[in-house]
Amino acid sequence: MAPLLEAANTFGTPLYVYNLDMVQKRLSILSDLFGNRFGISYAIKANPNPTLLAALQAGLSTFDASSFAEVIAAIDAGMPAKQVTFSGPAKREAEIKGAIVAGVGELVVESLTEAKRASSIAKERGVNQNILVRINPLKLPRKFGASMGATASQFGIDEEDLARDLPIIRDYPNLNLIGFHIYSGTNCLVPEAIAENFAIFADIFRAAQEITGVKPKRLVFGSGFGIPYLPGEDALDHAALPALINPIIDDLLDGEAFNETKCNLELGRWLVGPAGWLLTRVISEKHSRGVEVRTCDAGFNAHLAACGMMGSVIRRNWDFENLSNAKGQTGRYMLTGPLCTSIDRLAMDIELPKVSIADVLSIASSGAYGYSASPRGFISHPEPREVVIENGQLRDATPPLARIAAELVL
């Protein structure tokens, strides 16, 4: 953990550290895992840090952007626009226009209204835009940490409406329907449940093909691959996945209708989550009614998810370490953030080696949905800075404006 402490001492806290060497290793494991069955699509929303995107870009099939700003981030990172997909349930007219003008490879259409809007914009621009239709399945197996489908949802065309809606979308002028997209659940640690979900996708893709008569060029499988967040949780046994998933893909592609199909595995957290830490420094300490309270310079403003506020039903302590005192005698602590609200709690009754003022604490599994998924403006505390470790070296990766703001308070 020496590089983490060095990072905190060099760049200040709160600080996000992303180990790009680890990210590249995970990307290469994933790229090799299923033979040539899948290209990898990285969902920028998981972590849009520009340095991280630039490092990932060369090893990916596509970036999936979910706003026009993310489309631009993808292109800025060096990705050709035709290797960018643009998903998201509320694309404004100007965003669709911007994406079409930028030349995004595939617009992921989430509703009939959106298809109609995209069609008239493409017509106005005199272009034919490739689209994928996102589908909201009826079923999601158990064991997924978060569900984005299998219920009433803003994401995609409901499976039971495909026969009615897909021909309408296929026939809209200036849209070129080239495939289908499903992302119905995420953060799953059970290989069998992921495979069961892929079998559901395969059946839906077959049905969508039959309804439209379109030979898909692209099918997107929202992976749902999870990562452990809590101490004691086991990592997803990714090595068990090919034996379960390869037969499903081979069976799907074994037919004339799918002989031009390229499949993409879309994901974010599995690639980058375990390669990131949030570092925070203890600012103040007190003994309050029998509880040792330590107040840190990061709270839910810096890491909403670690504070249990991003979809967790029960708040549980994430994996903390005291980097300044790794092996001392332990105590039990309430760790809070700097915000003026009692819900700003990083950890409750957590056992750590003695925690004192100025100690640096790390929160693991913070590489995805950390910095960008937190309400950083609340109470206007200094924003976290971001650094990367690349070839073993620490490097500032804070976008320029945020860097100037962070330097003002160092």
Ligand X SMILES: Cc1ncc(COP(=O)(O)O)c(C=O)c1O
Residues interacting with ligand X, by CB under 6 A?
A: 43, 46, 64, 87, 148, 183, 186-187, 222-223, 266-270, 368
Complex with ligand X: residue 64 or 106, whichever CB lies closer: 64
CB of residue 91 to ligand X, shortest distance in Å: 13
CB 352 within 8 A of CB 322: yes
Q: Based on CB atoms, which residue is closest to ligand X, 16 or 270? A: 270
Cβ closest to ligand X, residue 95 vs residue 321: 95
Smallest gap, in angstroms, from Cβ of residue 268 to ligand X? 3
Q: Which is nearer to ligand X, 330 or 372 (CB)?
A: 372
Distance CA 360, CA 375 (A): 22
Smallest distance, ligand X to C-beta of residue 401, A? 26
43 vs 279 by CB, closer to ligand X: 43
Minimum distance, C-beta of residue 192 to ligand X, in the bound complex (Å): 18
> What distance lies between CA 296 and its chain's CA centroid?
26
Residue 55: name the closest of 15, 104, 18 by CA.
18
CA 356 to CA 324: how far, in whole Å? 9
Cβ closest to ligand X, residue 20 vs residue 350: 20
Q: How far is the CB of 155 from ligand X (least distance, A)?
A: 7
* 204 within 8 A of 182, measured Cβ to Cβ: yes
Closest separation in Å from C-beta 226 to ligand X? 7
Q: Taking the complex as a whole, how short is the minimal distance between the CB of residue 261 and ligand X, in angstroms? A: 19
Output 51 or 87, the one with its CB closest to ligand X: 87
3-class secondary structure for the chain? CHHHHHHHHHHCCCEEEEEHHHHHHHHHHHHHHCCCCEEEEEEHHHCCCHHHHHHHHCCCCEEEECCHHHHHHHHHCCCCHHHEEECCCCCCHHHHHHHHHHCCCEEEECCHHHHHHHHHHHHHHCCCEEEEEEEECCCCCCCEEEECCCCCCCCCEEHHHHHHHHHHHHHCCCEEEEEEEECCEEEECCHHHHHHHHHHHHHHHHHHHHHHCCCCCEEEEECCECCCCCCCCCCCCHHHHHHHHHHHHHHHHCCHHHCCCEEEEEECHHHHHHHEEEEEEEEEEEEECCEEEEEECCCCCCCCCCCCCCCCCCCCCCCEEECCCCCCCEEEEEEECCCCCCCCEEEEEEEEECCCCCCEEEECCCCCCCHHHCCCCHHHCCCCEEEEEECCEEEECCCHHHHHHHHHHC
Residue 243's nearest CA partner among 206, 198, 288 is 198
C-beta separation of 381 from 297 below 8 A: yes
State which residue, 200 or 406, has the beta carbon closest to ligand X: 200
Task: Specify the residue, 64 or 319, whose C-beta has the smaller distance to ligand X.
Answer: 64
Q: Which is nearer to ligand X, 46 or 109 (CB)?
A: 46
If the CB atoms of residues 222 and 308 are measured against ligand X, the closer one turns out to be 222
Minimum gap (Å) between residue 33 Cβ and ligand X: 15
Tell me the closest approach of the beta carbon of residue 42 to ligand X, in angstroms: 9
Min separation Cβ 9 and ligand X, Å: 31
Tokens of 288: 């309050």
Over the Cα atoms of the chain, what is R_g? 22
Residue nearest ligand X (C-beta atom): 268
Q: How far is the CB of 267 from ligand X (least distance, A)?
A: 4
